Amino acid sequence: MDIFRKAKSIRMVSYRDKYLTAAEDEESVIQDESPRQKSVWTVELMADRNAIRLRSYLGTYLAASTIPLLPGVTAKKAVQTSLESPSDPSIEWEPMRDGMQVKLRSCCGNFLRPNGGLPPWRNIVTHDVPHLPNSGNKLLWDVQIVEKRPPQSKFGRCRSGSFSETMDAIVHSEYI
């Protein structure tokens, strides 16, 4: 969770070296080979629990849907959705650190998973529970910080240096 507390915006890279990307249709979430603005996600921390929200460049949120990828398959689609309710659990993800990488667990206990192979699996992102013992590594994501969060001061939201420097600036501006 520490990496998300430090980051204002991130990119997530799968084991397939592809980036988690918000598609322009404002619904799909895919994997893309090159880092672009579409693969930058703004991190929103949930104050009362160990969870985050990821907002795309389009203003939509990464969500765990209940839509199956294919009939008879347990994997559900990861989608983009608008913030209809601030308490919507489908847009909250619990980060779980695994070494230098993370897994993101949805509200229903599934993990965000990049998929590969032949269509319809190629470059699709789903959420599911790993069924095979060696498939746990496929749930891991590298997190690249695009923009760091400004440090918080002990004395509030003073970001321009120490308290005395801030007071000197205020006093100086009153005499100008």
CATH number at residue 114: 2.80.10.50
What are the DSSP calls for 62-84, one per residue? EEEEEEESSTT---EEEEEE--S
Q: Is residue 159 part of a domain?
A: no
What pLDDT, on the 0 to 100 scale, is given for residue 41?
97
Question: Taking residues 151-171, what's their average pLDDT?
Answer: 49
Rg, the chain, Cα only: 19
What pLDDT, on the 0 to 100 scale, is given for residue 96?
94
- Close Cβ partners of 123 (under 8 Å, ≥ 6 residues apart): 18, 30, 31, 32, 115, 116
What pLDDT, on the 0 to 100 scale, is given for residue 170?
39
How many domains is the chain partitioned into structurally? Answer: 1
From residue 145, alpha-carbon distances to 44, 91, 120, 156, 162 in Å are 14, 20, 30, 24, 26
Q: Is residue 92 part of a domain?
A: yes
Give the confidence band of 162 by pLDDT, cuts at 50, 70, 90.
very low
Q: Is residue 128 part of a domain?
A: yes
Q: Is residue 166 part of a domain?
A: no
Return d(Cα 111, Cα 97) in angstroms, integer: 13
Domain holding 56, by residue range, is: 2-151
Q: Is residue 167 part of a domain?
A: no
| DSSP label at residue 23 | -
Q: Is residue 136 part of a domain?
A: yes
Return d(Cα 138, Cα 17) in angstroms, integer: 11
Residue 86 vs residue 28, higher pLDDT? 28
pLDDT tens for residues 33-56?
A: 988 889 999 999 998 889 999 999
Q: Is residue 165 part of a domain?
A: no
